[in-house]
Structure 1
Amino acid sequence: MPYSCVDYLGDVTSEGDVKRLLKRLSRLLDDLIFFNNAGIAVIGTLIEDLPLEKYQVVLIVNVVGTFLCTKEAVRQYKKQSPQGGRHIINNGSIAVHTPRPHSISYTSSKYAVTCITKSTALDGRVFDISATQIDIGSTLTTMAKPISVGAMQADGVVRPEAIMDVEHVANAVVHIAGLPNTVQVLGMNIMPIKMTFVGRGRFSLRLSTSVPYCK
């Protein structure tokens, strides 16, 4: 099967740009699998020091952008014959499950993406439209590369983190996109096996020699 690539310069927070993109894609491609990947982050700022405008810009890109693209993708899917049978895949974050320190804007935006994903899955299923959220851990991208040098952990200490190649995320997206329209993956977590995720830190484990007994 030949692959098609379309270049389009636009702003995911502009409804007009998103509409023009979907209109162009509908003319060029028979099948559409939409991957909402655009996102930005402001990390390392205390809650009380975070300017409102910086908080807002993260929400606008990560949440409004995802909503606008989802909105137009759903509109396009409903026009197709047969309807649906397509996938909307959202780039979430494992921050949804366990936040990083000092990341309130990014974390809250990804929680909102979870709501968009679940609402899309619920409202879209009657049209055979599926929605998936991939919550991705530390991956070697331009935005996340500094994490491999050092990132603050839950105990307040900065340590290098394990990081994985973006190819593994791409393979997960391809797998989900290739599923039949009778199957939906609502959510997936993918991360390096040695990433400090659960608890977001390293803590010593003390074993007690006595076991308390409660009657």
Structure 2
Amino acid sequence: MKSIIITGASSGIGHATAKVFLDAGWRVGLIARRADRLEALADQYDTAVPLPADVSDANGMQAAFEAFGHIDVLFNNAGLFGPSATIDEITLEDWAQVMQVNIGGMFIAARLAFMKMRAQDPQGGRIINNGSLSAHVPRPNSVCYTTTKHAVTGLTKTLSLDGRSFNIACGQIDIGNAETDLLRQLKASQPGTETMDVGNAARSVLHMAEMPTEANVQFMTVMATRMPYIGRG
């Protein structure tokens, strides 16, 4: 049975992706802070393993990875948007929090996955980082989030390069306007916002994860067809 750890699995894209993998017969490690939501999902599937942890807590994350065991894939998904404001209106505390989760948390999870994949037999695995259209072009008033998502692209490229010798592949999915609770709130305040069902993003992650070991989706963009991206700006 193939195995995957998904961070940010209690809601949004992470939760939808976890269900798609569970329905496909994978063993799924569920990482998020809200243990009750992870337990509720695990109650529905025998192959779901709740691993409550904060992605920015290195010790808690290490314990979660050790408890899960063998890992074929990491979906490095957890993140937060942070304040929507211009840079002069953002506190250093808010900036630090977004950096801690979106970069620090992704680094911690990738480091643990890489370490385990390098040491296990057979050696190797796959890391899929959740980027964003903001890894390419920003929304207005998104300096914290956009900065981190550009950093995620650098992480993806470096892991792809450094992982080759150990049969560790790394790819990035850049998702635009998947309809989660967060996007529904945005749509309520901006009625013209174009969205797509979050299941489209989740199934795209499954496609990346199910590639044979000799192949890798390096970058994938999946987005609502009518949202502004090409020609944005």
Q: TM-score, normalised by structure 1?
A: 0.84
Q: Is the 8 A contact 1:87 1:177 kept in 2?
A: yes
4+ long deviations beyond 6 Å: none
Q: Which of 142, 166, 176 is the aligned partner of 1:137?
A: 176
SS of 1:148's equivalent in the other structure is helix
Name the counterpart of 2:166. Answer: 127
Structure 1 CA distance for aligned equivalents of residues 192 and 145 of structure 2? 20
Q: Secondary structure at the match of 2:183?
A: coil
- 8 Å Cα contact 1:13/1:65 also seen in 2: yes
Gaps of 5+ in 2: 2-24, 27-46
In 1, the alpha carbon distance for the partners of 2:193 and 2:48 equals: 34
Tell me the CA shift for residue 143 of structure 1.
2.1
Tell me by how many angstroms 1:196 deviates.
Answer: 1.3
Q: Paired residue for 1:113, among 152, 155, 168?
A: 152
Structure 2: how far apart are the matches of 1:171 and 1:7?
21
- Contact 2:98 2:145 (C-alpha < 8 Å) held by counterparts: yes
CA deviation map 1:36-68 (0-9, x unaligned): 111101242111111111111011100000000
Cα distance, 1:198 vs structure 2:
2.5
Quick check: which one's strand share is greater?
2
Q: TM-score, normalization: structure 2?
A: 0.78
- Pairing 1:59–2:132 present: no
CA contact (8 A) 1:147 1:160 kept: no
CA RMSD of aligned residues (A): 1.5
Indicate the residue corresponding to 1:95 in structure 2.
134
The equivalent position to 1:15 in structure 2, one of 51, 58, 65, is 58
> Displacement, 1:146?
2.2
Deviations 1:156-203, CA, capped at 9 Å, x for gaps:
xxx6211011100111011111011111111111101100123436xx
Tell me the residue number matched to 1:148: 187
Amino acid at match of 1:200: R
CA deviation after TM superposition for structure 1 residue 11, in Å: 0.7
On the 8 A contact 1:35/1:88 being kept in 2, the answer is: yes
Q: Which consecutive unaligned segments of at least 5 residues does structure 1 have?
A: 152-158, 202-215
Matching residue of 1:79: 119
Structure with the greater alpha carbon radius of gyration? 1
Displacement of 1:31 in angstroms is 4.1
**Separation in 2, partners of 1:74, 1:57:** 24
Fraction of identical pairs, as percent? 36
Give the letter for the 1:104 counterpart: V
Alpha-carbon distance in structure 1 between the residues aligned to 2:129 and 2:88: 30
**Equivalent residues of 2:83, 2:90 under 8 A apart:** no
Could you tell me how far apart the structure 2 residues matched to 1:106 and 1:10 are?
22
Structure having the higher helix fraction is 2
Cα distance in structure 2, aligned partners of 1:82 and 1:37: 25
